[in-house]
Chain A
Amino acid sequence: MTADEATLARLMAAAQRGDKAAYRQLLGLCSGLVRRFYLRRLPEGAIDDLVQETLMSLHRKRDSWDPQRPFLPWLAAIARYRWIDHLRRAYTRAEVGLEDVFGVESGEAAIVARFGCDTLLAKLPEAQAAAIRVTRIEGLSTTEAAARLGQSESLVKVNVHRGLKKLAAMVEEDQ
């Protein structure tokens, strides 16, 4: 079964009515989508935990999806929210290279691209986006980030703080 909008919306509508089989299928599809979404945007070791958190959010807040509206923007908003929340909390070092794990498979890459976190980062001033990428996604320490970016340590901290604040305000913005 493919993870397209119509399929996901049909499964979610059935899940809201209590159809456990449809819900299990939905969770499997969403698990793949959300995982692919987080692949380039988090250190590898943090991905499974955040996918679980996102699926639990989907589970707890499943009544907040309106069957009259598309499913993917709802899922994307929840995934972005959890991602930004994680960036605020987390300070973990990347365990593997980040560029080589995002394979191109089927049409899901296009769907995942619509989650649009790269676009959100691109809307930040470059210094803030770079500070977030190297400290919260690649996992460098503030000292290492300062040396890499040519910013002082305090400026790196300020840029991360301001950037995350702006990201949080942009969760529902379209690309």
Chain B
Amino acid sequence: MTRINDDFLDGLADELEPVRPLSDTRVYFGIFGVGLVGILLVAGTLGVRPDVLDGPLHPMFLFRAATLLLLGGICAVSAAAMARPGVGRVGKAWLAALAMAGVVPLTALGYALWDPAQAARAVWYWSAIYCLGVSLSAATAFATVFILHLRRGAPVSPQRAGLVTGLASGSLGVLVYSIHCPSDNIAYIGMWYSLAIAIATLTCRLIVPRLIRW
């Protein structure tokens, strides 16, 4: 039976340099920075909703912002933590947040079934193309921050990390767009916001594992 050579272990020890334990703080700063730049760009190009500038805030704006912030925030914490492996560390908080946020598209579906004509008018609103475009562009920037962090760390569940990265990036991307979004209709929000998050999640689930495998 052969054994690991002492020279191999000595060689690794000789190469040792001090390292600072991987911290999530940098990823949070990165996310905050991307969010801030994204909001400034949206405000400078598309403009900000009147109620955000002058008040009072529309209840639907508050509800969707809180939902997106909660989903994006919890998924961001989960995705960042996935860079540091550990048996017994499988967090399920992101699943709970996803289940909670799932109320929005389900409510939209119920509304569409109840009043299809009104829902259709709301869904095919002119701003939908901006909604998808801006949300997914911002999501790409957020995802880049997570991917860089995960590549530096040691994610041992790359598929799950990809999925949660997509959920976090998608939710935060839509949150950035939502400061402009003129629609307060649940059918519109349930359709386009959910679609943007779903596209970001699916894309990250497919692409991110390849980028973070080690």
Contact = CB atoms under 8 A, between A and B. Distances in A.
Interface of A: 15-21, 23-24, 27-28, 31, 35, 44, 48, 51-52, 55-57, 59-67, 69-70, 73-74, 76-78, 80-81, 101, 114-116, 168-169, 171-174
Interface of B: 1-4, 8-10, 12-22, 83-90, 152-154, 156-157, 159-160, 214
Interface centre among B1, B17, B21, B156, by most A CB within 10 Å?
Answer: B156
Contacts of B13: 20-21, 23-24, 27
Contacts of A115: 87
B4 A59 contact: no
Q: Which interface residue of A17, A31, A61, A174 has the most chain B CB atoms within 10 A? A: A61
Contacts of B1: 44, 101
16 contacts: A16-B19, A19-B16, A24-B13, A44-B1, A51-B4, A59-B15, A64-B21, A73-B89, A77-B86, A81-B85, A81-B154, A172-B85, A172-B87, A172-B88, A173-B87, A174-B87
A120 B181 CA distance: 47
Given A81-B156, A169-B160, A74 B21 contact: no
A73 B88 CA distance: 7
Contact of B21 (A28, A31, A48, A67): A67
A20 to B, nearest CB: 5
Q: Which 5 A-B pairs have the closest CB atoms?
A: A18-B18, A77-B85, A174-B88, A61-B154, A24-B13
B87 A63 contact: no
Contacts of A16: 18-21
Nearest to A28: B9
Nearest to A82: B156
A114 B21 CA distance: 24
Contacts of B16: 15, 18-20, 23, 59
A52 B11 CA distance: 12
Contacts of B22: 63-64, 66
A154 to B, nearest CB: 25
Contacts of B19: 16, 62-63
B128 to A, nearest CB: 35
Contacts of A63: 19-22, 152-153
Nearest to A96: B1
Contacts of B153: 61, 63-64
Given A44-B1, A57-B214, A173-B90, A80 B18 contact: no
Contact of B156 (A48, A114, A172): A172
A57 B154 contact: yes
Nearest to A174: B88
A148 B1 CA distance: 28
B21 A66 contact: yes
A87 to B, nearest CB: 14
A132 to B, nearest CB: 18
Given A27-B12, A59-B12, A78 B154 contact: yes
Contact of A74 (B8, B9, B85): B85
A18 B4 contact: no
Given A18-B17, A64-B83, A78-B156, A172 B2 contact: no
Nearest to B13: A24
Given A55-B12, A69-B86, A73-B89, A169 B154 contact: no
